[in-house]
Amino acid sequence: MRIATWNVNSVRSRAERIAAFLERNDVDVLAMQETKTADAKFPYAVFDAAGYEVAHVGTNQWNGVAIASRVGLEDVQTAFDHQPAYEGTVEARAVGATCGGVEVWSLYVPNGREIGHPHYDYKLQFLYSLQLAVDTNAPQLFVGDFNIAPRDENVWDISWFEGKTHVTEPERAAFQMLQEAGLTEIRHGDDYSFWDYKSMRFQKNQGMLIDFLLATEPIARKLDRAWVDVDERRGKGASDHAPVIADFDTRPLAYDEVR
């Protein structure tokens, strides 16, 4: 099974480009973040035509997450248990579904904005609460834009980030706690998955690795290979993120086999 995660930065603006990506890469399941649209305005027809079912959670032009699958879409969940609210609202930042026997979660972790900002505390609480959704006995994938660079080498210049979010010790500790809860980071050989539109970051290769696939052991052990589709960051109309893709040999995988 080929599973990808991609912060598409507006699904309506890039629907045709996303469909072309799915076909070109023969993707079975795509988790999307920052769809930036309400459920009623999601371009379902584009995905239907390509043979994908879609589960989407979105309310307005902010946030929004989705899963597109051609291998089944069952047990859809529009938030994880104990998902925290921000200013009284549980935002559109998580959607889960069982796809081909694997429980997949598409996640858009809060940005945090600034150290000391209430949004920063919200980000940490979101990550702490996410640990409670991990079932180490089940094949689960928690994928998406985590808005954290867990290691210094995951940013182009760690000194540039002094006093900024994404690289602070509490954020990295929260990411590590997810791994301690039973998740394995799917590694690949690419440096970055995000290059800001500003200051010619992509052209200068001044990027960040903030998009991840985290897997429980029953699915992590099925990993074949993983990579970042850097070419998808190129050209007119590209998102500022590139898709992260992983292949898993899930043919014998089922819940009954790992319980």
Catalytic positions, written as ranges: 108, 145, 241
What's the longest Cα–Cα distance across the chain?
51
Residue length of the chain: 259
157 is in an annotated binding site: no
Query: Whole-angstrom Cα distance, residue 168 to residue 127?
Result: 14
SS3 169: helix
191 is in an annotated binding site: no
Q: Burial of 23 by CB count in 10 Å (0-12 exposed, 13-18 middle, 19+ buried)?
A: exposed
9 is in an annotated binding site: no
147 is in an annotated binding site: yes
The token pair that represents 133 in the structure block: 């959704």
E strand or H helix at 165: none
| Parallel, antiparallel or unpaired: strands 140-145 and 102-108 | parallel
240 is in an annotated binding site: yes
Paired with 134 in beta bridges are none
Query: Whole-angstrom Cα distance, residue 221 to residue 183?
Result: 11
SS3 242: coil
Query: Whole-angstrom Cα distance, residue 123 to residue 170?
Result: 10
- List own/partner pairs for 185-189 with CB under 8 A and 24 or more apart: 185/150, 185/212, 185/213, 185/214, 186/212, 186/213, 186/214, 186/215, 186/220, 186/223, 186/226, 186/244, 186/246, 187/226, 188/225, 188/226, 188/227, 188/228, 188/244, 188/246, 189/227
205 is in an annotated binding site: no
Binding site: residue ranges?
A: 7, 34, 145, 147, 240-241
Binding site for Mg(2+): residue ranges?
A: 7, 34, 145, 147, 240-241
